Amino acid sequence: MPSSRSSRRAVTTAWESSDWYLGMVGRRGHLYHRHLALPALLALLEPQPGERLLDVGCGPGVPAPHLARLGVHYTGLDASPRMIAQARKHHARSGTFVVGDARHLRAAVGQNATFDAVSFVFSLQDMHPLEQVLSEAAGVLRPGGRLVAVLTHPCFRVPRQSGWGWDACRKLAYRRVDRYLSPLCVPARRAGGAGTLSFHRPLQDYVAALFAAGMTLEALRELAPTDAMRRQLGRSAAPDNPDIPALLALRARRATG
Ligand SMILES: C[S@@+](CC[C@H](N)C(=O)[O-])C[C@H]1O[C@@H](n2cnc3c(N)ncnc32)[C@H](O)[C@@H]1O
């Protein structure tokens, strides 16, 4: 894993040149956004009209119109100016978008700015150091404010260290996990997608970092692709097992005292 001494340097991800991602997500989001991540985000967030939400690592800002429709004041923050430009192009009417580093959130949004809620959608797993990012997120939350994160399930989706297998005797697709407890920094392997990084951590590291940031874990959901999604993703060609979750969604709350 990269050292936390690098945390004052430029962000190490290369989302600036990730046209593949913008193409895949589009304006309305990927299937995983539409069928799993957005419903989980809204269910766990329980947003109230007039609340202020900071979406950290917002990318092209897919949740913005869904939250604006509910009367939430949405601010999207991302380290990549290209992602922010795309978010403004599609969703300028639904929120405010700023370029900033999750590792220095308080500096990015203003020392006195506070939010009722902070969200991370498919972004926490791309940020390092986790403890610093979560402590900064807690620092911009009002007392009692909540944090909702949706990420690829760390127990079943370990980049390059997990995959589907086929048990011919039992006629069953199973999930193979080669390593889990050791944190990993994994460069994305994608044609045309230059050097973005993902960070695998075991679930206990997420929970420990939330506690260290003064947050209490309140709710956790594990989400598997729906049948409709599986049909659209063409799962008949590559069988999987609908009982194995792809995503994890959680809500934590900053202490009131
Ligand atoms: C997989 S994309 C997810 C984007 C968006 N939330 C979505 O659901 O489409 C991860 C995002 O995290 C952003 N990111 C990574 N490290 C960051 C950091 N330290 N500060 C702010 N954004 C960061 C990247 O620029 C990228 O847009």
- The enclosing domain of 176 has a CATH number of 3.40.50.150
Query: Domain for residue 129, yes or no?
Result: yes
Residue 123, domain member (yes or no): yes
pLDDT tens digit sequence for 59-69: 999 999 999 99
Residue 41 in contact with residue 47, Cβ under 8 Å? no
Judge whether 145 lies within some domain.
yes
Question: Position 207: which residue type?
Answer: V
What is the pLDDT at residue 187? 84
- Closest ligand 1 atom to residue 102 Cα is 20
Return left, alpha or beta for 71; rule: phi > 0 is left, psi -120 to 50 is alpha, else beta: left
pLDDT, average across residues 85-110:
96
**What is the best residue among 15, 17, 55, 157 to mutate for testing ligand 1's pocket, by most ligand atoms within 8 Å of CB?**
15
- Domain assignment of residue 4, yes or no: no
Residue 200 sits in which domain range? 10-254
Is 96 a domain residue?
Answer: yes
Q: Which residue has the tokens 């969200």?
A: 119
User: Per the structure, how many domains does the chain have?
Assistant: 1
Is the pLDDT confidence value at 91 over 80?
A: yes
Side-by-side strand order, sheet with 52-56:
95-99, 73-78, 52-56, 115-121, 141-152, 247-254, 215-223
14 domain residue, yes or no: yes
Q: Which residue has the tokens 């894993």?
A: 1
Domain membership flag for residue 1: no
Mean pLDDT for all residues in the chain: 90
Per-residue tokens: 213 = 């940031």
pLDDT, tens digit (0-9, with 9 covering 90-100), for 170-210: 999 999 999 999 999 988 655 444 567 899 999 999 999 99
Q: Is residue 5 part of a domain?
A: no
In the reported structure, the alpha carbon of residue 60 is separated from the centroid of ligand 1 by a whole-number distance in angstroms of 9
